Structure 1
Amino acid sequence: MKIWKSLLIVLMIVASFAFAQPSFADRPKFSKNPDYIEVTKALNELTQTKDAQTQVEGLTPEEIQKRTEELTLQKYALETGINWGQCNNQTGNTIAVYGKRPNDEDDEDAVYDNGLYFLADGQSTKNNWDCDGIYLPNDVKVANFTSSPNGQGQELTGAAALKILDGTQLVIKTNPDNAAIELNVPTVKVLNSKEANWFIPDISQDIINTRVPNAPSN
C-alpha cells in the first residue's frame, strides 16, 4: 500500500512539472528585445560618462542623473517582462498614436507594421496594449527634444513618428506659452519611412482633431 502511495506522489510531482514547463518556456527573452539592447547600451554609455566625470555637451550633471535613473527603470521593466508602452494625452487636442491591432492578429494584407490610432484628450491607451509611439503633425513642435540619451536638447518639428521604449508611460502635454508639446521622458526615437514601416503622413493638427478617437483606452 505504501508503495502505491509513493508511486502516486511521484506521478503527481511529474505531472506538475509537465504542466509548469510551458510557463518557463514562454518567459520573455528580454535580452533579444531591440528596446532592451538599446536601453542597455545607452545606460552603459551614461554610466561610463559619470564614472569618468566627463561632461556631455548640453547636459548638466543633474540631467545626466535623471536620464540614468529613467533608463535604469526601463531596463528593469523589460527584464521583468513588461513588453508594452502607454501613452497619456494631456495636450488639449486629439493626438495620433501608433500601436498593434487590438486583436493582436497578424494580417498578411497589412501594408504597415502597426496601425495609426487617435487618442482623445485626457485619455490613456489601454493597459497591456502596446503604444509604440506618437505621430507629430507637420505644424507641431517638441520643446527641448533629444533623440539619444547623450544628445543635446533641441527643437523638433513634424511631420515625424516618435517611438518610445517598452515599459514607458509617455505623457504628452502642451506648453501654454509657445504651444509646443512636452514629453515627460528624456528621450524618444525619431523614425522616418526609410527606418521603419510606419505610416507617417504629412498632415496638420487640425486634420487630426477631426478624427474620431479609436485608440484602445482606459
Structure 2
Amino acid sequence: AWGALERDAAGSYHVGLRIWELAALAPRGPALREAALPFLEDLYEATHENVHLAVRDGLDVVYIERLSGRHAVGVRSRVGARWPLHATGVGLVLLAHSARTFQDQVCGGPLAAFTPHTLSDPVRLRRALAEVRRTGCAVADRQITDDAVSVAAPVRGPGGDVVAAVSLVVPSAGTQPHSLIPAVRLAGRGISRTLGWRP
C-alpha cells in the first residue's frame, strides 16, 4: 500500500518507487553521482568502455554509477551491486586508503577467489595495497572474470580523505591497462576538485 514493493502482471514482486525515492536521499549516492557524472561521461566518451563509480560500505564496495557501451567487455557489476573490496579495482583503491586496522581485518578474514587471479592470499593483497598507495591507482587484472581488467583511481573529499573510487573496465586481451591510468586518474582528480578537494 505504501509503495515499497510493486507486483508485475505475472505476480512477481519488485522494489517499488518509494524505496528508490528513499535511496535517492542518501548523501553518498546521488550527490556524489551528480558531481561525478560529467567526468564519468568524459571517460566513457574517450574509451567507450565500462566506467564505474563506487563507495565502501563495510567490507564491500557498492557501485553507485555505471556507464557501459554496447561493445564493452561484459561485467557483473550494476548500480547497487556489492563485491568484496579485495576483488575489484575500485575496492583495492578504497581498501588501500582505509585505516590500517581495517586493512588488517580484511586481510585476516576469508578472501573469496572468483578466478585463479583473484588476490585471495593476504600477503599478495598487502603488497598490492602498498603498490596502490605508492602509485595512486589500482590495476586489477582478471580478478572477477577471466576476460576483464580494471584500472581505478581515488576520489577525495574536501579534507583529502578517499570517499569513492572511479574505474575503467576493459578487455584483458589486447589491452595495455597501464596506458589508461592517466585518463582514470584525471577523472578521479576532476571529481575530487568538484567535491572541494584542493591538492
**TM (normalized to structure 2)?**
0.31
Q: Which has the higher helix share?
A: 2
Between structure 1 and structure 2, the one with the greater Rg is 1
**TM (normalized to structure 1)?**
0.29
Bigger RCO of structures 1 and 2 (CA < 8 A, at least 6 apart): 1
